[in-house]
Structures are given as structure tokens and as C-alpha cells.
Amino acid sequence: MDQLISIILPVFNEEAGIQSTIDTLLNYVEQQKERYELIFVDDGSKDNSAKIIEKSMQLNENIKLVRFSRNFGHQLAITAGLQYATGDAVVVMDADLQDPPEVIPEMIQKWHEGYDIVYGKRIKRDGETVFKKFTASAFYRIFKKISTIDMPLDTGDFRLMNRRAVDQLRKLHEQDPFVRGQVTWIGFKQTSVMYHRQERIAGETKYPLTKMISLAIDGITSFSMKPLQLANIFSIVPIVSGIFSLGYLLASGSYSLASVGVTILLFTLGLLLLSIGILGSYLGRVLDQVNNRPRFIVSETKGFQERNKGIHHLHARSQN
């Protein structure tokens, strides 16, 4: 039977362009040999987006709609889409056609070659402000330095994932998910295809600076413990200054109230910062435990005989 591809489209106040997105996608889908389902996740739109989608559903049964009770954000809209998608592979893309459907066959090609996850990597971004391009590029580069995962540069949420990748993602229950980080985190065979990010077909970006900052913070706090340990590094300054100050005291022999006071103060400050850093390290462990991600993901096992089946059960359970 033909393979089923689910396309997840998060939608937030996209009435200006959603109809042409639907038309373009249906037109694309008709020309493909795979079967498709289009899953629109309406993230609490206040405009007519949902109505427009519902209308097109009457004409095409491959269109599906999930409606949030309010705006929960792009990342959770994608997360919800993954729960509802039934495809052998799932593609996530913007509802504003910034991610061109023509790239999907390339992604499918890579999937057929054996990759579990295929990222869309932006070579060019049209119609975005210099500020947005600069901040995005800076974020990805800093993130790469401080995070524990090797997230490919210049990728967004446009990607294809096969069934086993989606099933693993669905096991992650983070409250504020940073989906592109999660996707890297689960591992498996990952690759990317280059694409030219288009201009929005209509409407404004739904990612104002505040949302971008909160996404960046979610990304860093989900995949880096470095900020928690910053206090350890900061403590070096007062401790080293304290040592110098003590040396100066001993060498000069002038034990004035001020110089003794400063030395004590510097050491106290250093110890205080160090203690905060230690707290950070423990907090990091608590965070890890609370995130409750599977501790490891097995991609395959080989050579186990029938009698060892119990081990597979163990594997399955420890991943939940």
C-alpha cells in the first residue's frame, strides 16, 4: 500500500494566507504518488483561519483540524500535531508557505535512503529583517557552544520524521518543549536538505521579539546546564582578588580595618557564589529527573534469541 505522509501545519491567525496554503498543498499532494493527510493545528486563532480550514474540509477528506482552546504557542501546536499524525512519515511546516512543498519529495527521497529525520536547512531567507536573521544566526551559534546536543545550524521546524522518530518524540513530555532540540536529542540517522526559505505569502510574522526570546530561553534551559553553573565561574573573580588582597595584607603588614574587611568580603563573596554554583549543579540533576526523558533510546538490537525476549521488555519499560 502507498505510504501515508502527514503534514502538520501550526496555524495562528493566518486568515490572510491560509486559503492559498491549502490550495497550493492540495495541488502539490495530487501530483504525488504517496497518500497525504494535512493536519492543521489551530493554535487559538482569533480570526477566521479555522472557518476557512473547515470549509475546505468539506471538499477534501484528507484535511484534518485540531483546535486549541487558546493560544498555547507554536511548539505545542507541533507537539499536538505529532500526537494526531498517523503517517509513516510526518512533515512539519509553516502555514504561511515559507517552507516550500517542493522540498518534501527531496526529504522523502532521503527517508527512503534510510534516514529517520531530514531537516530543512535554510540557505537563504527572503523577506526577513536583518535583525531577525542576525539574532537567529547568533542564537544558533551560541546554542551550539553551550548545549549538550549537536543541533544543526540554520534549521527551523521544517523537517520530515519517520514513524519511529515520531514515536520517540511522543514519549517526551516537557512542559515547554523546544521541538527542534528534542528532535536532535532523540538521535537516529539524521540529515538535511538545503532549501531557500521564501517570503511569507500573506500576513505578519506571529513571532514577535518577545516570543523569539522565550523560545530561545526554552531552548537553552532545555538543553544546557551551563547557565546554572555560571556562578562557579563568576566566583573565580572574588576568590582570586581575595588571594591577592590577602597576599598584600601579609606582605605590607598593615592590618587596617578596611583592608582586612575587604579581604574577608572578597572571600565571603567567592564562597557564596561557589555555593550557588553547587546548588546549580544539583538543580541541574533535579531538572534532568523532572524532565523525565527516556535515559537512552535503542535504535536496534542484534543477536538476541527468543529466550532473551525479557530483555526487550526491560528496554521498552525503561524508555517510558
**Residues 25, 200, 124, 10, CA torsion sign:** negative
User: Least distance in Å: CB of 12 to ligand UDP?
Assistant: 3
Which listed residue (3, 48, 71, 191) binds ligand UDP by CB under 6 A? 71
Which listed residue (6, 7, 8, 43) binds ligand UDP by CB under 6 A? 43
218 in contact with ligand UDP (CB under 6 A): no
Which listed residue (12, 40, 143, 223) binds ligand UDP by CB under 6 A? 12
74 in contact with ligand UDP (CB under 6 A): yes
**Residue ranges in 172-211 that form contacts with ligand UDP under rule CB under 6 A:** 205-207
| Binding segment (CB under 6 A) for ligand UDP, from list 11-19, 265-273, 281-289, 298-306 | 11-19
Contact by Cβ (8 Å): 100, 198: yes
**Residue ranges in 86-105 that form contacts with Mg ion under rule CB under 5 A:** 94, 96, 98
77 in contact with ligand UDP (CB under 6 A): yes
Cβ proximity to Mg ion: between 37 and 94 the closer is 94
- The option from ligand UDP, Mg ion, none interacting with 87 (CB < 5 to 8 A, set by class) reads none
Contact by Cβ (8 Å): 8, 41: yes
User: Least distance in Å: CB of 10 to Mg ion?
Assistant: 10
User: Least distance in Å: CB of 286 to Mg ion?
Assistant: 36
User: Least distance in Å: CB of 32 to Mg ion?
Assistant: 23
User: Least distance in Å: CB of 53 to Mg ion?
Assistant: 17
Helices 179-186, 74-84: inter-axial angle, 10-degree rounding: 50
User: Least distance in Å: CB of 142 to ligand UDP?
Assistant: 18
**Cα distance between the two ends of the chain:** 31
Please give the distance of CA 176 from its chain centroid, rounded to a whole number.
10
73 in contact with ligand UDP (CB under 6 A): yes
| Binding segment (CB under 6 A) for ligand UDP, from list 91-99, 106-114, 177-185, 247-255 | 91-99
Contact set with Mg ion (CB under 5 A)? 94, 96, 98
Binding residues for ligand UDP, rule: CB under 6 A, are 10-12, 14, 43, 71, 73-74, 77, 94-96, 98, 205-207
